Amino acid sequence: MRSKQYPLYVGRFQPVHNGHIHAIRHVVSIHDGIIIAVGSSLTSHDKDNPFTFGERLQMLHLALAEAGIGLEKTVITGVPDIPYAHFLWVRLVEAMCPPFKLVYTNQPFTGRLFKEAGYEVRPIPFLERERYSGAEIRRRIILGVDWSQLVPASVYEYLVSIGGAERIRSLASSDEAV
């Protein structure tokens, strides 16, 4: 892990979906491995961030196993938000990860912060972005539209077992109520 340096991939994984696994497979096919940084790691139970870090960690383990991507090719870490003082965030990522030089992200703000700090930033070939996004999955769950094909089977089963859809709907209705 020391001699071979892995690139960084940042996501919020709310929840883990097929687009994430597609991206991880893409990175792992090019490099020896991948650092998976779970962003907003301390945030949960709000409309856009329903799941805890522990739950997202479970989903990642399940999805990686299902995809046949060995854990020995991954380093999984969590990075909390730093509200307002965004200029500190890249330094925080550096402290929560093994060293890296290359960052994979399609998020413009994340990309900008890493570019300002001198990192090489590369986009990830999207897997039908309109469908495979956390926002789309949460939207479907709120509307009661089928979303089972957008996430790995093991993640779907897990979310059913913890009442994930019910939580998302409940958080959404709360937001409206407030």
Among 29, 68, 83, 125, binds a second copy (CB under 8 A): 83
By the rule CB under 8 A, 68 interacts with a second copy: no
Cα separations (Å) of 98 from 6, 14, 55, 145?
8, 24, 23, 40
Query: Which two three-digit tokens encode residue 43?
Result: 């945030």
**What does the alpha-carbon distance between residue 51 and residue 58 come to, in Å, rounded to a whole number?**
11
- Parallel, antiparallel or unpaired: strands 8-11 and 102-104: parallel
**Rounded Cα–Cα distance for residues 134 and 6 (Å):** 25
Binding map of a second copy across residues 17-56, x = CB under 8 A, - = no contact? -----------------------xxxxxxx--x--xxxx-
Among 69, 96, 124, 142, binds a second copy (CB under 8 A): 96
Instruction: Please list every residue from 108 through 167 that binds a second copy, using CB under 8 A.
Output: 108-109, 112-113, 116, 158, 161, 167
Backbone φ and ψ for 75, nearest 5 degrees, come out as -125, 120
Q: Which residues bind a second copy (CB under 8 A)?
A: 1-2, 40-46, 49, 52-55, 57-58, 61-62, 65, 70-72, 75-78, 80-81, 83-88, 90-92, 94-99, 107-109, 112-113, 116, 158, 161, 167, 170-171, 173-175, 177-178
